[in-house]
Structure 1
Amino acid sequence: MKFLRYGPIGGEKPGCLDQEGNIRDLGALIADFTPETVTCEQLAALADHDLSDLPIVDPGTRIGPCVGAARNFYAVGLNYARHARETNNPEPREPVLFSKSTSCICGPNDPIILPRGSVKTDWEVELGIIIGRPCSYVSKDEALDYVAGFCTINDVSERAYQIERGGQWIKGKSAPNFGPIGPWLVTTDEAGDPQNLTLKLSVNGETVQNSSTADMIFPVAEIISYMSGFMRLMPGDIIATGTPEGVGMGLTPQRFLRAGDVVELSVEGLGSQRQTVIS
């Protein structure tokens, strides 16, 4: 199924997409999609309900991030072979892990806000994982059993803050609205093979990223297994799994976002995002 959250910022409500593409209000069945409720068991129970009698939501309603009140927002760097090459980095021998502040999370169509002093704000279309069970020391073979679903993520990044200011990457990854998530949380049974999904991103109508999760250096199951050896992953935790080639930093000449630019991106089967860049 495709689950989502809709409504004004801070007042989002739970919903789902029916087979006709209508948004159905799930408020009678669940309070919200948060770390307390985004579990494999809870989502499976919702999928068993007849949705035909649930209220239809106005299709023009704002879509919020597909998980609310997330406790952790993790990310994997340099996880696509061609992206590593375009940034003149060797392929890592282990996953490169970092965090984004959860305060950067926003809806899939909310604006990208350029931070004060930004000169190198960049785009990154990514496959996102939403964890659905407490997860510690799991094997690669069992790792996907701990996934509630997948989503589309734009890992917006200020490269000067990330790379040129020293220290860790988080400060270039965490400005307000640097984490558009959604529109949907797509359950694993509907998402299909996470290692065979097309990712695309365009800026002002020009396609700059067009690749596949097949180019991942570390696949989804390996990422979850690896991370679970260092930390306990919990329901509602979000993991961005890396971006393919075609980021602004890797273009010749380099290209970065400016106010007025329009960014559109999608991951196959997981929905599209559209963001306007503002100062």
Structure 2
Amino acid sequence: MTSSSAGLTAPYALVRFRTGDGAEARLGLVAGDRVREIGPDELGAADLNAFLAEAPASWGRLTAVAEQTDAAWHPLADVTLSAPVTPRQVLQTGANYRTHVIDLVAAGRAKNDPRPIEELREWAADMMDRRAREGIPYFFIGLPAAVVGDDVDLVLPSYSDQHDWELELAIVIGREAFRVDREHAMEHVAGYTIVNDVTTRDLVFREDMKEIGTDWYRGKNAPGFLPTGPFLVPSPFVANPGDLHLQLTLNGDTMQDATTSDLLFDIPALIAGASQNMPLLPGDLLLTGSPAGNGIVHGRMLRDGDVMVGAIEGLGAQTVRAVAEERR
């Protein structure tokens, strides 16, 4: 596939890119409609995660590289972009958009629930408002092996037909964060990227062990279930991550359309909360949750041949094609 920087407003961003079929992805710097390979000399560090460990201060090293006009540049349209990060840990945030949770409660209404749908939505709204005032973020763990670029087709496992999309703003951790407070949390943000946190809905809750609750391993961690990127945008170029527009379209139809201002727990609260029991490492992904408009609410799950375009203001867009796995 070819790549475009449409929607990317930063002066530069990091990517991983390939120039030919089968070639290994290389770390690159995107500036406008061109990309060039960068290595330890330009980074001033051994690798990407070591560079990010010094972010946001380290971003200034790339300013002069982005302004160069030598022959090292490739047209961005001629390369294939992959996932821009190699996280050691992936943390996901559940139930963190107010409207999203209200919609899920209404969609999951029990058949024997006598309450009118509006009453149920009001109950869910009160619950979310109380949680925002008194609660703490809800985290679970994803597998880094599920992180891929949008150059990889999303294979829909044959064991279910309930695969759903979840467009999310993802924080890329910079300096290691361990038991930080809200006031200092943003000092540990290297940048931001786009993630589609794909979910198999009918596997989230265990029917055979209802007392246990959610099964996020089976519900989320199939191969390729975390399409990421294509750009890692430096944090200094994202002025207000708490008010970014997100939109996901399915075959051209808008499914998710929201802003990060609907987050229950904002980015400082998420970083502070997630760092309390385990250090967040340079290059790790911290997903902030998905807004309203998932397939379970639309009554439409992913099918063979579907094309999703997920865009976040200032961060560009990713295009993911779904293909059905052959039934075994």
Normalised by the size of structure 1, how large is the TM-score? Answer: 0.92
In structure 1, C-alpha distance between the alignment counterparts of 2:227 and 2:251, rounded to whole Å: 18
The residue that corresponds to 1:61 in the other structure is: 79
In structure 2, C-alpha distance between the alignment counterparts of 1:217 and 1:145, rounded to whole Å: 21
Q: Is the 8 A contact 1:122 1:249 kept in 2?
A: yes
In structure 1, C-alpha distance between the alignment counterparts of 2:22 and 2:138, rounded to whole Å: 32
Among candidates 186, 200, 214, match of residue 233 of structure 2: 186
CA 1:10–1:175 in structure 2 vs 1: closer, same or farther (change >3 Å)?
farther
CA 1:105–1:9 in structure 2 vs 1: closer, same or farther (change >3 Å)?
farther
Among candidates 267, 270, 278, match of residue 315 of structure 2: 270
Check if 1:12 corresponds to 2:57: no
In structure 2, C-alpha distance between the alignment counterparts of 1:146 and 1:48, rounded to whole Å: 24
The residue that corresponds to 1:260 in the other structure is: 305
CA 1:62–1:32 in structure 2 vs 1: closer, same or farther (change >3 Å)?
farther
The amino acid of 1:246's aligned partner reads G
In structure 2, C-alpha distance between the alignment counterparts of 1:102 and 1:200, rounded to whole Å: 24
Flag as ranges the 4+ runs of structure 1 deviating above 6 A.
none
The amino acid of 2:26's aligned partner reads K
Check if 1:24 corresponds to 2:69: no
Within-5 A mapping of 1:131-210: 131-164=173-206, 167-210=214-257
Gaps spanning 5+ residues in structure 1: where?
Answer: none
Check if 1:47 corresponds to 2:59: no
Larger displacement relative to structure 2 (255-264 or 161-170): 161-170
Normalised by the size of structure 2, how large is the TM-score? Answer: 0.79
CA shift for structure 1 position 171: 1.9
Q: Deviations over 1:151-186 (max 9, x none)?
A: 111011111122245543132111111011111111
CA 1:109–1:163 in structure 2 vs 1: closer, same or farther (change >3 Å)?
farther
Q: Which has the higher helix share?
A: 2
In structure 2, C-alpha distance between the alignment counterparts of 1:9 and 1:96, rounded to whole Å: 39
Secondary structure in 2 matching 1:226: helix
CA 1:200–1:32 in structure 2 vs 1: closer, same or farther (change >3 Å)?
farther
Percent pairwise identity: 30
In structure 1, C-alpha distance between the alignment counterparts of 2:273 and 2:254, rounded to whole Å: 33
In structure 1, C-alpha distance between the alignment counterparts of 2:254 and 2:48, rounded to whole Å: 34
The residue that corresponds to 1:77 in the other structure is: 94
The amino acid of 1:4's aligned partner reads V
The residue that corresponds to 1:36 in the other structure is: 50
Paired residues, number: 275
Secondary structure in 1 matching 2:14: strand
In structure 2, C-alpha distance between the alignment counterparts of 1:271 and 1:85, rounded to whole Å: 28
Secondary structure in 2 matching 1:195: helix
Check if 1:102 corresponds to 2:144: yes
